[in-house]
Structure 1
Amino acid sequence: MQQNNKTKFVYKTRTEMVADNLRNKILSGQIVAGEALRQDAIAREYNVSRIPVREALLQLKAQGLVNFEAHKGATATELLPGKIHDLFELRALVECHVLEKAIPKMTEQDFTTSRQILHAFEDAVKSGTRIEDWSDLNYAFHAALYRPADMPMALDIIQKLNFKSDRYIRMQLLFTTGIDKADREHCDILELCLKRDIKGASALLRKHILEAGQAIHDLLIEQQVKQN
């Protein structure tokens, strides 16, 4: 029996299309912090009305990527060191709890999926050019470990927190030694999960998240000093 290899197409609304494109530009630095996001100009660029643009900007606001300011409209959010510790400590709190619930339920398929994502992450890093994939695969690895917990509300919170921290994570991976460190720690976390070492995996995950946050905080402070 011949296998059906038809390509699957994912339909996106105009709002989703605009939101995805603007998100990628903000996260990659094409749209810089504080830059105004003019609804008329965006509507012309994507050949849509202002309604999906407005809805897309509201989605990005909920993800912490856009601010709405009086007399200025929408702008890309600033990267502020003061927000780092709160954001990454909250991530550590929620993600460690979910990982602890997930480990006893992990199957061989979960481990296989996690390994495949790790290999994809390593390939993306080695390419040196697929920068946009680094952060996506970093989150995909973590999400694969958390999914067996079967805690949809917690996973939704984790996804939102990762959206908010994505710009910071991309910056860390680009401008620090975070790539090699993240790769090593991902492998170690997965190994502890394989051993069903709940306490060890949770402790390493907490260290992994908080040290990433500290590295980003230090990098932002360093950049501020240079600018002044």
Structure 2
Amino acid sequence: MTTVQGKEDQRSLPQTIRDQLRDEILRGVLPPGAQLRQESLAERFGASRIPVREALRQLEAEGLVSYQLNRGAVVMAMSTREICELLDIRAALETYAAKLAVPNMVAADIDVMKRILAAYDASTSPADWAEYNRQFHLALCAPANNARLRKMIEEYCLSTTNRYPHLRMSLDTEKGDVQRDHYEIVDACKRRAVDDVVELIERHILDTKREVMAAARMAGLTDQ
């Protein structure tokens, strides 16, 4: 049994449980359709049902968990078509956010993005790559100073990025390609080249869409 230390601040317990479950979902330890029973999770983490319920609620907001009739919380499965639809929406949201954000950027914003990319470079964990990718895109849109727009981007970013392992993409290749795009975006942000940033983000996301569709074809999936 994995037991969360009793001395840990109660307020961080849902986040601890959420992070562990998220990592297991991303690595495929918990596959799409797997049931997440509150009683079993509470026993596993040495916690009550309250922090478990909150952790599952947060994972539901991230698009990783859904609730089904007579089954409760399950790891959410997404079709290729659904992922591509979300990527289209994400491209529209992020390019709009860039138009608002880039004129407001200061040196500290660029530094935050660079630190995230450095951590991304150093990591060898696909689950960490998904998290650093999420952090980068949220840092990119943060100077837009629009909380509702940021929340929408966060949800779509998570619900697409976290599906890659299940489509059998080449993660090593993906990481290199994604990082090259990220560094180009940062360079354009430094130059305050709004149009360039918008073009790079749109290309970056739509290239991802093409990779998702290609991976689905290679895997013989038919829900395109």
The TM-score bracket by the shorter chain reads 0.7 to 0.9
Distance 1:112 1:172 in 2: 33
User: Does structure 1 conserve the Cα–Cα contact (< 8 Å) formed by 2:84 and 2:212?
Assistant: no
Corresponding residue number in structure 2 for 1:118: 117
- What's the offset of the Cα at 1:20? 2.4
Is the radius of gyration larger for structure 1 or structure 2? 1
Residue 132 (str. 1) matches residue 127 (str. 2): yes
User: Runs in 1 of length 4+ with deviation above 4 angstroms?
Assistant: 169-174
User: Does structure 2 conserve the Cα–Cα contact (< 8 Å) formed by 1:80 and 1:220?
Assistant: no
- What's the offset of the Cα at 1:143? 2.0
Corresponding residue number in structure 2 for 1:5: none
Which one is further off, 84-93 or 133-142? 133-142
Distance 1:172 1:72 in 2: 25
Distance 1:98 1:145 in 2: 8
Counterpart selection for 2:200 from 190, 194, 204: 204
Corresponding residue number in structure 2 for 1:3: none
Specify the SS of the correspondent of 1:36: coil
CA gap of 1:115–1:63, structure 2 versus 1, over 3 A, is: closer
Distance 1:178 1:134 in 2: 10
Distance 1:150 1:173 in 2: 36
Corresponding residue number in structure 1 for 2:62: 63
- 2:198 alignment partner AA: S
Specify the SS of the correspondent of 2:93: helix
Counterpart selection for 1:194 from 168, 190, 193: 190
Counterpart selection for 2:160 from 146, 159, 165: 165
Corresponding residue number in structure 1 for 2:46: 47
Specify the SS of the correspondent of 1:68: strand
Distance 1:116 1:56 in 2: 27
Specify the SS of the correspondent of 2:11: coil
- What's the offset of the Cα at 1:117? 2.1
Query: TM-score when scaled to structure 2?
Result: 0.84
- What's the offset of the Cα at 1:175? 2.0
- What's the offset of the Cα at 1:88? 0.5
Distance 1:170 1:116 in 2: 25
CA gap of 1:143–1:10, structure 2 versus 1, over 3 A, is: farther
User: Does structure 2 conserve the Cα–Cα contact (< 8 Å) formed by 1:135 and 1:170?
Assistant: no
CA gap of 1:156–1:11, structure 2 versus 1, over 3 A, is: farther
Which one is further off, 43-52 or 88-97? 43-52
Aligned residue pairs total 214
CA gap of 1:173–1:156, structure 2 versus 1, over 3 A, is: farther
CA RMSD in angstroms, aligned pairs only: 2.4
- What's the offset of the Cα at 1:13? 4.0
Distance 1:197 1:103 in 2: 8
Corresponding residue number in structure 2 for 1:87: 86
Gaps spanning 5+ residues in structure 2: where? 1-7
Q: Alignment identity in percent?
A: 29
- What's the offset of the Cα at 1:103? 0.9
- What's the offset of the Cα at 1:174? 5.7
- 2:42 alignment partner AA: A
Distance 2:221 2:166 in 1: 17
Distance 1:59 1:110 in 2: 27
- What's the offset of the Cα at 1:89? 0.8
Gaps spanning 5+ residues in structure 1: where? 1-8
Distance 1:170 1:98 in 2: 27
Residue 182 (str. 1) matches residue 178 (str. 2): yes
Corresponding residue number in structure 2 for 1:152: 147
Specify the SS of the correspondent of 1:48: coil
